[in-house]
């Protein structure tokens, strides 16, 4: 005998769970879509387990398994007794995980930021490939110097896809926040959810050295970042240079 589908069909339109997938996997995908499409904004709470389970016509355990997937992905955060929340994006000065700079005596929380240059330009083949843009698309190109106590410490080159970051193409750069990601969120509605940072080593060019107040040829660490939004799309390319002697990072193996 055929399995009964469910006498009261859940959420008209997303009835049938399993082609080749598990039910919780399909459920997770369904919830993921509702999150990335902004049905629940970062920081807000989802409906309770029981409500979601009823809505989708599954057992509590199955729903919990789906939520566990999204928690593991870093999309959700659960708090006992309070609820299930969509996680806010990257907040703090995440480049500081690679460098230690002194502010007076203590370690810095957030360096100051100053935009040296802002240009609209056409993306080269590598850039448009990385950002998933058509060839010849427009991007916003930024050069930025970050300082601690007026002392320059990090030099950055940032590339942003342009239809998306249009609001930043004309606003007053001297009024920008020192943290870009929360501003991306507020001004462009784009949440930076995760990033991949590729570290390598090099020597400063004359111009780079001048901006960082170091000697030409001074050793530096280069961080090449690709940052992704909630839906997994790459929405920022960034190259950061900092004094190699300020470099410090701890990696965990296995």
Partner DNA sequence: CAGTGGTCTAGACCACCGC
Partner DNA sequence: CGGTGGTCTAGACCACTGG
Residue numbers of the site for DNA (CB under 7 A)? 17-18, 22-25, 46-51, 57-62, 64-65, 78-84
Pairwise CA distance, residues 151 & 144, whole Å: 14
The distance of closest approach from Cβ of residue 110 to a second copy in the complex, given in angstroms and rounded to an integer, is: 16
Decide whether 14 or 73 has the Cβ nearer to a second copy: 73
Q: By the 8 A CB rule, do 101 and 246 touch?
A: yes
Report d(CA 113, CA 19) in Å as an integer: 50
Residue placing its CB nearer to a second copy in the complex, 82 or 254: 254
195 binds a second copy (CB under 8 A): yes
Among 42-50, 149-157, 164-172, 197-205, which window interacts with a second copy (CB under 8 A)?
197-205
φ and ψ at residue 149, rounded to 5 degrees: 60, 35
> In the stretch 67-106, what mask flags binding to a second copy with x, by CB under 8 A?
-------x---------------x---x--xx--------
Position 244 contacts a second copy (CB under 8 A): yes
Comparing CB distances to a second copy, the nearer of 6 and 245 is 245
- List CB contacts of 46: < 8 A, sequence separation 6 or more: 31, 40, 52, 76, 83, 84, 85, 86
Residue 123 and residue 139 in contact, taking contact as beta carbons nearer than 8 Å: yes
Q: Which is nearer to a second copy, 97 or 213 (CB)?
A: 97
State how far the Cα of 101 lies from the Cα of 95, in Å rounded to an integer.
11
């Amino acid at each position: 005998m055929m399995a009964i589908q469910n006498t009261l069909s859940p959420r008209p339109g997303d009835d049938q769970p399993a082609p080749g997938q598990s039910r919780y996997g399909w459920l997770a995908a369904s919830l993921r879509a509702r999150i990335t499409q902004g049905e629940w904004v970062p920081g807000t709470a989802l409906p309770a387990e029981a409500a979601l389970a009823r809505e989708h016509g599954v057992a509590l355990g199955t729903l919990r398994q789906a939520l566990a997937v999204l928690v593991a992905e870093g999309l959700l955060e659960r708090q006992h007794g309070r609820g299930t929340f969509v996680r806010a994006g990257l907040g703090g000065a995440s480049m500081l995980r690679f460098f230690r700079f002194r502010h007076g005596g203590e370690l810095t929380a957030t360096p100051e930021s100053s935009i040296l240059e802002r240009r609209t330009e056409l993306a080269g083949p590598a850039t448009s490939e990385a950002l998933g843009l058509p060839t010849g698309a427009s991007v916003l190109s930024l050069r930025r110097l970050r300082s601690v106590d007026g002392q320059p410490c990090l030099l950055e080159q940032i590339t942003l896809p342009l239809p998306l970051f249009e609001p930043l193409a004309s606003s007053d750069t001297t009024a920008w926040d020192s943290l870009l990601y929360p501003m991306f969120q507020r001004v462009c509605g784009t949440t930076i959810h995760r990033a991949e940072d590729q570290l390598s080593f090099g020597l400063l060019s004359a111009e780079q050295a001048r901006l960082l107040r170091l000697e030409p040829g001074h050793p530096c660490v280069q961080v090449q970042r690709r940052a992704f939004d909630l839906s997994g799309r790459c929405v920022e390319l960034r190259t950061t240079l900092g004094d190699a002697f300020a470099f410090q990072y701890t990696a965990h193996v296995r």
